[in-house]
Every structure is written in structure tokens, then in C-alpha cells.
A and B are shown apart, each in its own frame.
Chain A
Amino acid sequence: MIKITPTELNLVAQYIQAISGIYLDQSKTYLFETRLSSVAEAHGCANYQDLYNLAKRDLSKKIEKEIVDAITTNETLFFRDKGPFELLQHKILPEVIDARSGKSALKPRIKIWSAAASTGQELYSIAIVIKELLKDSNDYTFTLLGTDISDAAIAQASYGKYNRFEIERGLDKKNLQKYFTLLGDSWKIKDEIRAMVNFKKLNLMQPFSALGKFDIIFCRNVAIYFTLADRKTLFTKLAGSLNDDGYLIIGSTESLTGVCPLFVPKRHLRSIFYQKK
């Protein structure tokens, strides 16, 4: 493994923050080395300065992508933390459906965004909740969008195939059998769920107002990797992408106190969600 020098550490940390928003603690040198060493070696770089130079010169942005893929954390689970999904099923979806029904002759469209979709488990979990709740009802049009900064994560999310470790826990046997097909040692999401969702690459540091307004936004456990200043910017932008009566769900250990005054926390049973003031 290639060792990183203090100068390189500073340079690489700033570069990563600039391309991804991810702020890495510079005391964690092992994190840089374990994640980036193989990228450097694959491009024949003897040190991280060389890798940085190469990445900056690479107009195709291929190396930048590889660095983002290497540095992002894709720890995610199906139904990670049951709270938000129970909230979705028992409170948010019924309320959104109620609010959108009968308002026009058109079929109500409900837009949901998983803003840090990682390898897709969250968005597929949302799709499963909708399928379970509405069965094959054709009364609403759902748009389910998942975005992530990592190409590799988006590729896996789109393919919808998960190994034993990725699938276990969170997903009960009933839903596993119902919505997945065993493929060798892995499980693949069934087409009926796959067809409900869309994934695309998006860097949350970049503008995203072009995605339009959403009724429900999940933005869980991604802002924890950002600086306070970047968090403020992100949640302010998210407020702009949320309908006035929309719902925001953040990670269970995250807080918007001192981050974004545009949202108020509300409670339902054991979970909280946010709405615009």
C-alpha cells in the first residue's frame, strides 16, 4: 500500500471535497490509503501527488469517477432503520395521496426522491412499501427517482442484484421471496419493482433544481460526510426541491438544528420527519 504524506493528504482531501462534497478527517490517513492506494497503483502512480496530477489532467474524468467510487461509503440496507418506512406507509403516503386526490381530472402524480440512493436498497424498499400498500392500483402515477454520486453504486442499483450480505437483515423472508429472484448466490429484484424506479448519477453539490419538485425526499446519512457550510447549502436547496406540503426524511442520527431553519421537525409515533415552515 502506498503511504500518504501530510502534504498529499491536504491536497487530496481538498480535491475530494471539491469533486464530491465529502469532507474527510485528515487524521484518518488509513482511510485515504486503503481506499485510494489501488486506484493509484492501477494508473501506475508511485504516489498520491501523481494520482492527483493525473486526475486533474484527465479530461474524460474517468479517474475522478474512480476516486469518487473508491471514497464513497455504500453502507446501506433494505429497510435500514424500520422507522422511516413505517412512517411512509402509515402516515406520509396516505397523507400525500389524500392531498393529491380529486384535485384535477388527471391521475395524481406523486414524486419521491432518494437523494443518496447508494446501491438502491432504500428506493427499492420505498417501491415495495408502495406496492404493498396500493397493490396493483392504477389510480396514481408514482415517479421514484434514486440519485447518487458514485457511478459504480448507480450501476449496481440499476441492475438490482445483491449478494447475501447485502440482502440479509432488514428484508424479511416474505418480501425476499415475493420481490426477488435467486440468481446463483445473489438475489435480483423482480421486474415489477425494477420498473417502478429510475436511477441517475447526481452530485448533490451541483445544482439540481432541474429535477423538479418532489412530494417526498429521503436524504439520509449523506450530509454527515459534508462540512456544516455544505450541509446548510444542501438542505436549503432541498427545501427548494420540495413541494410546500412535502415531506423530508433524514437519517435517524442527523439533525437540522442549526443547519436549516426552513424546516420544522414533526413527530409520528417513534419517528420524525420534516416539513417546510
Chain B
Amino acid sequence: MKNLSILVVDDDPVLRHLLRKRLKIAGYSVESAEDGYVARDLIHKQSFDVVLTDLMMPGDIGGLEVLELAKEKDSSIEVVLITAHSSVDTAVQAMKKGAADYLEKPVNFDELFLRLDKIANIQTMYRSAVDLRLALSRTEGEAGQTIQMLELLCGKLQQSLDEIETTLEKDGATSEERVASALAIIRET
């Protein structure tokens, strides 16, 4: 089982079934939608790592809108567009809007699996970076509390030492009185 969950969105039933089947055989967990509307509902209901969507679909929700919906839901969802050769320009526009990649029709499955492996690698690295950052901030938090406590303690001790120095140097007091005052400061500390 591969560790990516994929949503396939395509109005062409032949391609949709083919994609679904090949991805399942390759070990991915796959859901599919026959248009942008069904995709929208699935994106809201479930969580996906990757949305693989046709660029041109009937209705108001095409590939670009699916991209926007996915990114709105969770910016970590990667979107790969499937496009006809004639709409490569639109696909490039989509990349600017945050799509991870695009594939030209007819879909070359070796190429698709390669892209998905890359996405899986990036997501793994991303997660480990987030984990490391979390670990770092915990460690930093713990160390910070200790250091700050010591810092305040040092400041307080320094203040006492200064007071003791003044007390011991005080004019007009006997040695006994000075020592007694100094001891009193030490006991207070």
C-alpha cells in the first residue's frame, strides 16, 4: 500500500476508470468523481493527499476551480492536472496558482507514477521537517524555561552580593554589626 490517498476527477468515464484501476493496482488508495461538483463534495468530506483532475470539464467547476477548492481546504493537498496538448498554456497558469504538475493526454502511466513518487517524497520530507520543527520548539521551550529561571536567579544573587558588599563596607558600624547585617541579607536570599 502506497501512502498517498488520491482523488481522480474526470468526466471521461473510460479514462476515469482506467486511472482508478491503474492507481489501485499500483497500491494507492483512490476515490473518483465524474465532475467538479462531486469532486467538491468529496474534497469537503474527506482528506486527500493528491487530487488528479482533468482541466476541462463541463459545468462551472473545471480543473482550475477544483484546484482552488482543494487548496482552500488544505494547502498541503497537491493537485496534478490532466490536460489536452492544446491547453498547456492554461496548465501553466494553473501551476502558477499552486498546481504541483500537469500531464498531457494521452496519460503516460510511467510518467504519472514518477510524479506521484516525487510528491510522496516531498510530502514525507515536509512531514519530517514539521516534526523536527515541533521537536525543536519543545526542546527550545524546555531549555528556555530552565535558562530563564537560572538567569533570574543569577540576577537576584548578584543583587544580594552587591548589597552585601555595600553592607560590609559601611562606615560607622562595628565589624560585628556589618557581619550581622551581611548574614541577614544572605539568609533572606
List the interface of chain A (C-beta within 8 A of B).
Answer: 77, 80-81, 83, 164-165, 168-169, 182, 184-185, 251-257, 264-265, 267, 270-272
User: Known contacts being A184-B96, A265-B155, A272-B152, is A252 close to B75, with CB within 8 Å?
Assistant: no
Q: Given the complex, which residues of A lie within 8 Å of B141, measured CB to CB?
A: 81, 252
Contact check, B148 vs A252: say whether CB atoms are below 8 A apart.
yes
User: In the complex, which residues 108-160 of chain B have their Cβ closer than 8 Å to any Cβ of chain A?
Assistant: 126, 129-130, 133-134, 137, 140-141, 143-145, 147-148, 150-152, 154-155
A-B complex: 8 closest residue pairs judged by Cβ atoms: A252-B144, A185-B98, A257-B154, A184-B98, A253-B143, A265-B155, A272-B148, A265-B151
Candidates B137, B140, B151; contact of A255 at CB < 8 Å: B151
| Main SS class of interface, B | helix
* B80: min CB distance to chain A, Å: 14
Complex: how many Å from CA A267 to CA B152?
8
Q: Given the complex, which residues of B lie within 8 Å of A80, measured CB to CB?
A: 137
Indicate whether B44 reaches chain A with its CB closer than 8 angstroms: no
With A77-B133, A81-B141 known, 20 other A-B pairs at CB within 8 A are A80-B137, A81-B140, A83-B144, A165-B130, A169-B130, A182-B75, A185-B71, A251-B144, A252-B143, A252-B144, A252-B147, A253-B143, A255-B150, A256-B151, A257-B150, A257-B155, A264-B155, A265-B152, A267-B152, A271-B148
Contact check, A252 vs B155: say whether CB atoms are below 8 A apart.
no
Indicate whether B73 reaches chain A with its CB closer than 8 angstroms: no
Q: Chain B: how many interface residues by the 8 Å CB criterion? A: 24
Candidates B96, B98, B147, B154; contact of A253 at CB < 8 Å: B147
Which residue of A is nearest B133, CB measured? A169
User: Known contacts being A81-B140, A184-B97, is A255 close to B147, with CB within 8 Å?
Assistant: yes
Q: Given the complex, which residues of B lie within 8 Å of A185, measured CB to CB?
A: 71, 75, 97-98
List the interface of chain B (C-beta within 8 A of A).
Answer: 71, 75-76, 96-98, 126, 129-130, 133-134, 137, 140-141, 143-145, 147-148, 150-152, 154-155
Q: Given the complex, which residues of B lie within 8 Å of A254, measured CB to CB?
A: 147
Q: Given the complex, which residues of B lie within 8 Å of A264, measured CB to CB?
A: 155
Q: Given the complex, which residues of B lie within 8 Å of A83, measured CB to CB?
A: 144
* A197: min CB distance to chain B, Å: 24
Q: Given the complex, which residues of B lie within 8 Å of A272, measured CB to CB?
A: 148, 151-152
Q: Given the complex, which residues of B lie within 8 Å of A182, measured CB to CB?
A: 71, 75
Complex: how many Å from CA A184 to CA B140?
33
Which residue of B is nearest A257, CB measured? B154
Complex: how many Å from CA A262 to CA B40?
61
Complex: how many Å from CA A42 to CA B143?
40
* A85: min CB distance to chain B, Å: 14
Which residue of B is nearest A221, CB measured? B140
Complex: how many Å from CA A81 to CA B138?
10
Give me 16 A-to-B residue pairs in the complex whose CB atoms sit less than 8 angstroms apart, sorted by A's number.
Answer: A80-B137, A165-B129, A165-B130, A169-B133, A182-B75, A185-B71, A185-B97, A185-B98, A251-B144, A253-B143, A254-B147, A255-B151, A257-B150, A265-B148, A267-B148, A271-B148
